[in-house]
Every structure is written in structure tokens, then in C-alpha cells.
Homo-oligomer: A and B are copies of this chain.
Amino acid sequence: MFDYIFQLIEENKLIEARQKLIELNEVDIEQILEELPQDKMLRLFRMLPKEIAAEVFAEMDSDQQQYIVESITDHEINDILDELYMDDTVDFIEEMPANVVKRVLRNTDEATRKTINQLLNYPDDSAGSIMTTEFVDLKKEMSVAVALEHIRQTGMDKETIDTCFVISAQRKLEGEITIRKLILSAPDSLVADIMDENVKSVKTLTDKEETAYLFRKYDLISMPVVDNENRLVGIITVDDVIDVIEEENTEDFHKMAAITPSDKEYLDTGVFSLAKNRIVWLLVLMISATFTGLIIRYYEATLSQVVALTAYIPMLMGTGGNAGAQSSTMIIRSLALNEIEFRDSFLVMWKELRVGLLTAAILAIVNFARIMIFDRIQVLVALAVCASLFCIVTLAKVIGGILPIAAKRIHLDPVIMASPIITTILDAVSLFIYFAFSTSILGIA
């Protein structure tokens, strides 16, 4: 199908191509347009029916949106803005340069302009920034028949009518009712009598991660957003929440790998931005790794007496780091999913201690056997290595388990406590333990 459309476009049969295009989902249409040279993309875009054009426009990336807005007439801009949902309009405007924003705002009426400006003002991480202002609001005193008629008259433009929210005369949120319930109820029943008063809502400034958590917890499809006086100002739909969830996860992945998070896709990010997002942490970690160098230099005399000791440093530091990263990652993830709270600290510590002792014992025994069989060094050196390994792994587990919880407690991001920061801490700890055991077991200074 896609290939056939591309072929039609290639042969300049744009009318036929348009006919095929409009049968597709808007996401697919956008993917096809994205592959075309700009002039053909523009010509096809202008041939789309205006509802479809608006949906396709909402899916485009900002470069293409800007190109289109700069190439079409005010009248066409107006048509698109009329059809766009408010949250998509705001997402689009946020990315445009000032002159484009001016032109777009000139093409909207006073009320829309005011709403746009208000939405633009919500902080990036707030529920307000992902809500839309198009929703069906029912009044408590409406009958089911009146409510359905109200939905028929206003519902076509609204982002979702599957759940309608019920407000009082003062626009305060009073309850919710599903369209299903409305259809199944007697036409003369009152909305107030059949609505569900137990409705979950968020404030405009609620963190959007917290909002996503509520969607997950209560299996919601949409959720009302209220202001400080509990007046209904917008709704959030689950598709935007899924994007929030994936964004937050990407952020956590990046932070765990010591990258400053950015919300641009990899292929769209320039080399300098990528380098900038990575260099800070690399520098910090490189400098802090010099501490391990200092420790080694301090024990230079020890190492030169038993040179064999040096060969085990990477293994000890590596295993300690891995053991710690396992614990911290599990705890960080559990914290992110709200499965663990601060009150579980001792439980976690106790669990990690036991897991640590168990895994450390296995590792130490296997390693001792391996050293004795393959490396053929003195038993005492092997003992020093394995005793160190045992302590390092156990300690790594406990530290890795508790640091993220401690970080969250003092309102730091638990993720920054993950590897490689924990690894860096554990590197230094590992060396101290190793040299302590080596000097005492081998009786050197």
C-alpha cells in the first residue's frame, strides 16, 4: 500500500495519491509525507481534507510544521487551528520561532489566544502542560436526555467523550459519568443521581509523573484537571500519559548512564548537544576516579612487594561495582513504581544484607577455586583476594540498596545514586578493603 502510494507520487499522480492517502490513519499519512521532498509534501498536505490535515499536522515534527505554516495562507492556518486540539496547538506553538507564533496567534480569536497563553504558562513537568481544554462538561441538574443532546451538539470537537465530567453552577467538579452509563440509563433520570461522585482529579500544578502514577493505579482513560478552587479547567487523556511514562523512563535510563537527559530523539540531536550532555558527568567521574589512583599510589610500596596483587584490582572493583549496581537498580526501579517507601528501609537493608552474604560467599568460593587452579599463586594471596571479595560484595549490596532510598528521603533523585556514582564510591571502598586485608593477611606494610 505504502509503496503504491509512493509510486503514484513519484509519477506525479497526486490526485490518485491523495485518494489512497486519506484512507490511511493520520499517523501513517504523516510517515509517508515525512519521506517526501518538501515541495511535494506541501502540495499533498494542502490537498488533504481539513480535519485530516489537522490530525496529520499534529503528528509532524516541528521543522515540518514550521515549513508548512510559513508556506500556507492565513486562511489555511485558520482552518488547521480550528480543527487542532488545544493541547496539540500548544505543543506546536511552543516549538515555533517568535514570528511564526505571532502569525498563528493573529489567526485565532481572543478566547483561544487567552487559553493558549494560559496553557503555555504551565511548567513543563506539570499536569497543566499535558491537559487539553476540550472536554464535555455536564451540569448536575441535566436529565440524561438533555445530557445526551448536549453531547451530540458539542461532542464532535471534544477530544474524548467516553467519560464526561459533571460540574456545579460555579464550575466546580462534582462527579463523572461514562457515556456508557448515560446510554444505559432512563432518559429522565438526573445526571446528579447517576453520576459517580468519587472522581480522581489532579491540580494544574500536580507533577505529571504523579499524574501518570494515578492513571496506572486506577486504570484511567481520562482524568479531570482542576484549579485551586476545584474548578474544572481541563482533562488529561491516557495517550498523553503513555508519552509521559516513556519520557520519564528514557530520562531514568539516561541518568543511570550518567547522561544529562534531553527530550530530543537521538537522531535529531546534534553532535555538540550530545557531547555537552555527556561530558559533564564524564569529567566528574574521571576526576573522582583519580581518588582510586591516589589510594593505589599510597599503597605503591605494598604492591611492589607482592606484584601479583595488582592483577586482582580490576576484578574486585568490577565485581563490587556490578553487585552494587544490581541492588541500586532494583531499588531505584521499585521506588519509581511506588512499590517501596521510606518506611521499608530496614526491610531493604536486611534483605540486601542476606542476599549480599549469600552471593558474596558463592563468589568468594568460586574465585578461590579458580585462583588456586589457574593462577598458582600463594594461598595467602588468594585468601586476601577472596576475603576482600566477600566483604566488598556484601557491602556493595547494602550500600547499593540503601543509597537510593536515602537520596529520595532528602529529596534528591534516587537515579543519580545509581551506577556510575555508586560504582565510583564502591571503587574507593573496594581498594581500601583490599589493601587492608592484603597488608594484614600477608603481613606487609
Spell out A's residues near B (CB within 8 Å). 23-25, 27, 148, 151-152, 155-156, 161-162, 179-180, 183-184, 197-198, 200, 215-221, 238-239, 241-243, 245-246, 249-250, 252-254, 256-259, 265-267, 271-272, 274-275, 278-279, 281-283, 285-287, 289-290, 292-294, 296-297, 300, 303-304, 307-308, 310-315, 317-319, 321-323, 325-326, 328-334, 337, 339-340, 344, 347-348, 351, 354-355, 358-359, 362-363, 366-367, 370, 393, 419-420, 423-424, 427, 431
Contact = CB atoms under 8 A, between A and B. Distances in A.
Contacts of A216: 242-243, 246
A263 to B, nearest CB: 12
Contact of A330 (B219, B257, B325): B257
Contact of A359 (B246, B275, B366): B275
Nearest to A278: B326
A275 B337 contact: no
A265 B183 contact: no
A359 B272 CA distance: 10
B286 A319 contact: yes
A317 B25 CA distance: 50
Contact of A340 (B151, B256, B266, B311): B266
B303 A27 contact: no
A255 B151 CA distance: 48
The 6 A-B residue pairs with the shortest CB-CB distance, nearest first, are A257-B329, A219-B239, A289-B315, A293-B311, A162-B162, A292-B314
A314 B329 contact: no
A290 B152 contact: no
Contacts of A197: 23
Contact of A238 (B221, B286, B297, B311): B221
A267 B340 contact: yes
14 contacts: A155-B183, A156-B180, A156-B184, A179-B180, A242-B245, A257-B326, A266-B330, A271-B358, A282-B326, A290-B315, A296-B311, A297-B311, A314-B427, A419-B419
Nearest to A257: B329
B319 A289 contact: yes
Contacts of A215: 242
Contact of A184 (B155, B323, B348, B370): B155
A337 B256 contact: no
A198 B25 CA distance: 7
Contact of A180 (B161, B250, B285, B331): B161
B325 A420 contact: yes
A319 B282 contact: yes
Contacts of A340: 266-267
B282 A323 contact: yes
Given A258-B325, A278-B323, A296-B311, 11 more contacts: A162-B162, A221-B238, A254-B329, A256-B256, A257-B419, A266-B334, A266-B340, A267-B334, A282-B359, A300-B310, A313-B313
A350 to B, nearest CB: 9
A414 B392 CA distance: 30
Contacts of A359: 275, 278-279, 282
B329 A315 contact: no
B420 A322 contact: yes
